[in-house]
């Protein structure tokens, strides 16, 4: 599991460095590893990172699909067995990432709603 402990960091860096395709690819690798380990919260985080990369690339439909899948994954997560290093990823954190995605897509009205959550 140590391999996926840093999940999300590289995707964020790629997104903010203007490499959204790389961010999406990295997020998909993390999601595959998280699914293999049975860590639904980490699957949700990887999906949110994928969505952010898609949003940065201006791909609204794939972004929305990844955000929807992230919500489902987090709802399914059994947080009692999560490793401590994924504890930061909760509904508040996910809402902020939803806001980032919507901001990237120019949907400021909805981005603000998620920011207030």
Secondary structure of the chain in HEC code, one letter for each residue: CHHHCCCCHHHHHHHHCCCHHHHHHHHHHHHHHHHHHCCHHHHHHHHHHHHHHHHHCCCHHHHHHHHHHHHHHHHHCCHHHCCHHHCCCCHHHHHHHHHHHHHHCCCHHHHHHHHHC
| Rounded mean pLDDT, 97-114 | 94
In the structure, what pLDDT confidence band is assigned to residue 3 with cuts at 50, 70 and 90? Answer: very low
Q: Going from the N-terminus, what domains does the chain have, and what CATH number goes with each?
A: 2-116 (1.25.40.10)
- Is residue 4 predicted with pLDDT exceeding 60? no
Q: Tokens for 98?
A: 């939803």
Question: What pTM does this model have?
Answer: 0.85
């Amino acid at each position: 599991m140590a391999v996926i402990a840093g999940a999300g960091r590289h995707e964020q860096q790629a997104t903010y460095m203007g490499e959204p395709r790389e961010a999406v690819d990295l997020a998909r690798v993390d999601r595959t590893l998280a699914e293999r380990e049975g860590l639904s919260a980490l699957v949700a985080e990887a999906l949110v990172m994928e969505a952010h990369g898609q949003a940065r690339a201006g791909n609204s439909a794939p972004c929305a699909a990844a955000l929807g899948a992230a919500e489902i994954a987090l709802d399914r997560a059994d947080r009692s067995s999560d490793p401590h290093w994924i504890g930061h990823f909760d509904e508040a954190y996910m809402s902020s990432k939803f806001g980032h995605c919507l901001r990237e897509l120019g949907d400021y009205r909805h981005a603000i709603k998620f920011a207030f959550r």
